[in-house]
A and B are shown apart, each in its own frame.
Chain A
Amino acid sequence: MLGYLARRLAMTIPTLLLVAVAVFTLVRLIPGDPVQVMLGDNADAAQAAQLRAQLGLDEAFPLQFLHWLGKVATGDLGHSITNDLAVLPLILERFQVSAVIVLVAVAAATCIAVPAGLIAAWKQNSALDLAVIGSATLLLSIPSFWLGLLLLLLFGLKLKWLPVIGYVPFSENFWQAAVFMLLPIVTLTVLEIGVLTRMARAASIEVLRLEYVTHARAKGVPEWLVLGRHVLPNAFAPIWTLIGLVLGHLLGGIAVIETVFTLPGLGRLLVDSIFARDYPVVQGCLLFTAVIYVVVNLIVDLCYPLFDPRVVVA
């Protein structure tokens, strides 16, 4: 187990190195100069040159990369060009916001989608199945900003049940934080239910066709037990894979939801930094996202034996 873990972690190093090269290069290929964005339309050449030198942007590209990589190796992702804040603490602070929303939403979506998919599979081709799969497809098609705004207008503006804007960290006031987080979490949950329901249904249908299910039914095992003990555990492995992918994807930032609900999360930080051409923050966010992806998938892989005894981590 430890050997497997070490091997997997070692394998991430070349991946992250490749990501670092790609991120550093691609960010600089985007047209636009951070110095000009900072100085605006009335900057003179002397001011621009002074700021460029101060930010180290006047150095040759490979030199800039090596400097950055050297710092990254020591855990220093540099400082933001726009506000001079250290990038890593900034990312970690913003990640906490995104992580809470994503983890709660994905957990809630899983709790709803897996039973829904299982029941739809069990009642395949019935009206219930049609309703579940239809709803899932509908949810999959809804753009996140539209749903977010709709919920905001309904619960915030029309009914005035929930606040429209603002954010309170959980460390400050748990209940207030929960109130502010409710709508973004509900939005993301609703959106993720669609994809997870479809996967749960497809995986369950496959398992329901297998011989041991037929055998269990022939023995007279009650249907709820067949579904709960034989179908669900065996269908859960592909769902778990999907959950891993979804988590990896969402933890990298839910920029649209964060923007609509004015939450200071990682996604908004990344988008704002791209518009400001804040290279160190963009690089840091993307590298951090890559690390999160790798870590989440590693955890998913390590958890496989829990759902499928045939998988051995060694």
Chain B
Amino acid sequence: MTRARRPSRTTMVGLVALLATLAVVAHANAETLLRTRLNADIRSTDPGTNRDANTDGVMAHIVEGLVAFREDTSIGPMLAESWTVSNEGKTYTFRLRQGVKFHNGAVMTVDDVVWSLKRWLDPATQWRCLSEFSASGIARIEQIEAPDAQTVVVRLDQPTALFLPTLARPDCGQTAIIHRDSVGPDGKWIAPIGTGPFKLAAWKRGQYIDLARFDGYAARSEPRNGYTGAKIAEVDRVRFNIIPDSSAAKAGLLSGSLDVINSLAIPDLEDLKSRPDVQLSITPALGLTGILFQTRDPLLKDVRIRRAIALCLDTTQIVDSVMQGTARPNNSALPIGSPFYGEVQAHGYTQNIAEAQKLLAEAGYHGQPIKLIANKRYSFVFDSAVLVQAMAQTVGINIEIEVLDWAAQLDRYNRGDYQSMSFVYSARLDASLSFEMLMGPKASQPRKVWDDPEAQEMLRQSMMTDDAAKRQALFDAMHRRFIEDVPMIVLFNGAELAALRKNVKGYAGWLYPQPRFWGVSIQ
């Protein structure tokens, strides 16, 4: 019988070293995957055309435009190195960054930029923002040309402060510069070949969207800032799982099947706060929640009744209760995060029950019912309606809540077919657009809440000038009229709530309610 030889000390050390090396190599080769959630599938991969908020959010990782929104909602350069404005605000000259590559390896040229911009303006593309550049829009684009290999010139028929913000709008697909192979010879969309930090790897409809890191990405030198600045992909892949049910998404996060869930529902917040393996990201957002009044309604056309409702509300209490401390009260049409939000905008309604009762008596209100439409898709919209109803009751205002599904409410909103409505507006990244979404002639645009020709003239002026002081003065004046007329009661701007596993680093929400996964890593 022979005894098995014991391995020598040197052999053992060698084995351990080999295993350690293998482990390090395996770790280095292991793909880093960040898993997140979308509450519904994207509409398409064609930015700015068949889109919704989820589509915009995913596509922002794949494509880029000449300019983009910064975190303070100002406009910064993206694929443009810089730009100049001349000819009394009618000519924009963009100097392009050099060495930017598309996902297919081709280097971006002025021809690609001109081709992309012309494609957006082709009605066959069905670009969402085409009407902005038509005769009835902010300005008409008269000419796009490339005088040299680094410069693109865009000529407008009239000056407008909204040209760059419109180009940068996420719902306009950031007016992305894409490679022409993104479409077929017939002009039909194939897949996005953009310049973003991630490229589209897979889209399993109804299941997930996979984005893979683009290794040839040319990042800007400035730090990440909104949708501009350096967009460094720190993970190899991002997977957007389609999970409609928020409870399932929460369970996915807690079990470790998901790394990030954004657009959290307020009721989930308290539970997640106490979880040791979860961190929260709470960021003020630009969305606007409030109570709309139909100023053509026989009852609510009386400004005294609208004002009485405003004066019986304790906005702070409503916001604290509905948003659980994640948002601040705001009665202005301008969001708190706007650079034009100042002392004037901070002045809104103060609860005054005696004054409210006096106004109601003057208006001859005798408890006639006022229908308030709400929906349960957005819990804070319904909760706000309930609290408004309860507070209005204290001065004898009889509000009856009617709950509709979102599509039905949107239909009523667009037709102006309501007495009052608890409603949420999506984010507008420019101050003029924050007012524009509310203002207009009801005769031709029944969805508009505030029909005041003088204020509309102020709005028009704010769109024509890019002088910040002039714009501020106009916005201040518009705010005062808005509070005086009470066409709606703005209650608060929402908050973007995200829950992350503790090992997720670098995630930061911003005013625009879509997540950004560049600069985000998993440790």
Which A positions have Cβ atoms within 8 angstroms of B?
30-34, 36-48, 50-51, 54, 82-85, 90, 94, 149, 152-153, 156-157, 160, 163-167, 259-262, 264, 268-269, 272, 275-277
Contact = CB atoms under 8 A, between A and B. Distances in A.
A38 B428 CA distance: 17
10 closest A-B pairs by CB: A32-B407, A264-B206, A31-B408, A165-B252, A164-B255, A32-B408, A262-B243, A32-B411, A164-B251, A164-B252
Contacts of A149: 247-248, 251
A39 B324 CA distance: 31
B521 interface: no
Contacts of B171: 40, 42
B50 A264 contact: no
A55 to B, nearest CB: 11
Interface string B236-264: 00000111110111011011011000000
Nearest to A256: B245
Interface string B93-109: 00000000000000000
A269 B206 contact: yes
Interface in B316-334: none
Given A30-B408, A268-B206, A40 B52 contact: yes
Name, among A34, A41, A160, the residue most crowded by chain B CB atoms within 10 Å (CB to CB): A41
23 contacts: A31-B408, A32-B410, A33-B410, A33-B411, A38-B43, A41-B425, A42-B171, A43-B414, A44-B131, A83-B205, A149-B248, A157-B254, A163-B255, A164-B257, A165-B241, A165-B257, A259-B245, A261-B248, A268-B244, A272-B41, A272-B244, A275-B406, A275-B407
A32 B405 contact: yes
A40 B407 contact: no
A264 B208 CA distance: 10
B410 A82 contact: no
Interface in B206-220: 206-207
B412 to A, nearest CB: 7
Given A83-B43, A163-B257, A277-B407, A259 B244 contact: yes
Contacts of A47: 128, 131
B435 to A, nearest CB: 12
Contacts of B242: 262, 264
A41 B426 contact: yes
Interface string B40-70: 1101100000101100000000000000000
Contacts of B244: 259, 262, 268, 272
Interface string B118-135: 000000001010010010
Contacts of B437: 41-42
Contacts of B411: 31-33, 36
Given A30-B407, A33-B414, 8 more contacts: A30-B408, A31-B412, A32-B405, A32-B407, A33-B410, A47-B131, A83-B44, A277-B407
B248 A152 contact: yes
A94 B204 CA distance: 12
Interface of B: 40-41, 43-44, 50, 52-53, 126, 128, 131, 134, 136, 171, 205-207, 241-245, 247-249, 251-252, 254-255, 257-258, 404-408, 410-414, 423, 425-426, 428, 437, 444-445, 447
Contact of A84 (B44, B254, B413, B414): B44
B258 A165 contact: yes
Given A47-B128, A47-B131, A164 B248 contact: yes
Q: Is the interface of A mostly helix, strand, loop or mixed?
A: helix
Chain B, interface SS category: loop
Contacts of A41: 410, 413, 423, 425-426, 437, 447
A40 B245 CA distance: 22
A225 B435 CA distance: 82
A32 B405 CA distance: 9
Nearest to B254: A157
Nearest to A51: B126
A41 B254 CA distance: 34
B266 to A, nearest CB: 19
Contact of B126 (A54, A165, A262): A54
A275 B241 CA distance: 20
B205 A262 contact: no
A296 to B, nearest CB: 24
Q: Looking at A31, A38, A50, A156, which has the most chain B CB atoms within 10 Å of its CB?
A: A31
Interface centre among B207, B254, B437 (most CB of A within 10 A): B207
B410 A262 contact: no
A82 B257 contact: no
Contacts of B445: 44-45
Contacts of A43: 414
Given A160-B255, A166-B257, A264-B242, A272 B131 contact: no
B248 A82 contact: no
Contacts of B410: 32-33, 36-37, 40-41
Contacts of A167: 207
Contacts of A45: 444-445
A260 B248 contact: yes
Contacts of A82: 43, 50
Contacts of B447: 41
Contact of B404 (A31, A152, A275): A31
B414 A36 contact: yes
Given A31-B408, A45-B445, A83-B44, A260 B206 contact: no
Contacts of A275: 405-407
A156 B249 CA distance: 12
Contacts of B128: 39, 47
B71 to A, nearest CB: 22
Contacts of B404: 31
Contact of B255 (A37, A157, A276): A157
A36 B128 CA distance: 13
Contacts of B252: 164-165
Contacts of A276: 407
B426 A40 contact: yes
